[in-house]
Amino acid sequence: MNPLKKFLFELQEMSYLTYFAATRVFRKPRYAAETINQMDSIGVGSLPIIILTGLFTGGVLTLQGYPTLEYYGGQSETGRLVSYTLIRELGPVLSALMVSGRSGSAISAELGSMQVSQQIDAMRALGTDPYRKLVAPRMLALFLMLPLLTVAADLFGILGGGFVANNMFGHDYTAFLTSVRNGISVEDIIGGVIKPFVFGLIIGAVACYKGLSTRGGTVGVGRSTTSAVVLSSIVVIIVDFFLSRFLQHIFGT
């Protein structure tokens, strides 16, 4: 198949899958236990890697940015630099990429294994809707948990930046936090929370679609898992650009 046609076909199928999953969330039976399990797996399970990512990202932003700001006499704005960069851009994107690599790959592998072992067909034969039982809880969990993980990455990133500024450059904590407060606006926070909602849907749609479309036995599961991580990461980065431009247009910043 032509690569462009293949991309458009997959985009169409993922859009259908997202629509079917969204409409089935509000219909009975509602698999609340499955949704909670997925929220625990995605949210709590991803928290350590998100904390580490946030801490060291904030630290490296301070490490690289402080000397430059000091050269121009603006070292007092280090907190503004770290918070602005994390909340508006790096926090949502890096959290999405980490969750895509950890949870997106797990979802694709799990559904792919069920597909090649004909468990999906067995569910349909027994009258169970796979979209309602398998897809909807996973997409809902990603939709709800990724924004919370992003907030955690932002907070720990600011803490990491403040730690590096204080211990490596002797910058006062109070001055750093004052700069953070002065550098964050309501529009920044809203934009930084909107993005992970969209990214969560993207990761869920790609991972579930790749898992349910797995063919070729266990080898196919590996291909689907790799494809899910790569495709979701690329789409997140591309959508981030257009979403950032859209938010700039809405908020005028």
pLDDT at 59: 93
Report pLDDT digits (tens) over 86-144. Answer: 998 999 999 999 999 999 999 999 999 998 888 888 888 887 888 888 888 999 999 99
Helix (H) or strand (E) holding 17: helix 3-25
pLDDT at 1: 62
Closest CA to 151 of 197, 116, 118, 185: 197
Q: What's the pLDDT score for residue 94?
A: 95
Q: How far apart (Å, rounded) are the C-alpha atoms in residues 182 and 135?
A: 42
Cα first-last separation, the chain: 42
pLDDT less than 70: residues of the chain: 1, 252-253
Q: What is the pLDDT of residue 33?
A: 87
Other C-beta atoms closer than 10 Å to the C-beta of 189 total 14
According to the model, what pLDDT value does residue 253 have? 61
Per this entry, what is the length of the chain?
253
pLDDT of residue 238: 93
Query: Between 173-183 and 78-85, two packed helices, what is the crossing angle to 10 degrees?
Result: 50
Give the closest residue to 140 by CA, choosing from 18, 4, 15: 18
Q: Is the dihedral of CA 149, 130, 19, 4 positive or negative?
A: positive
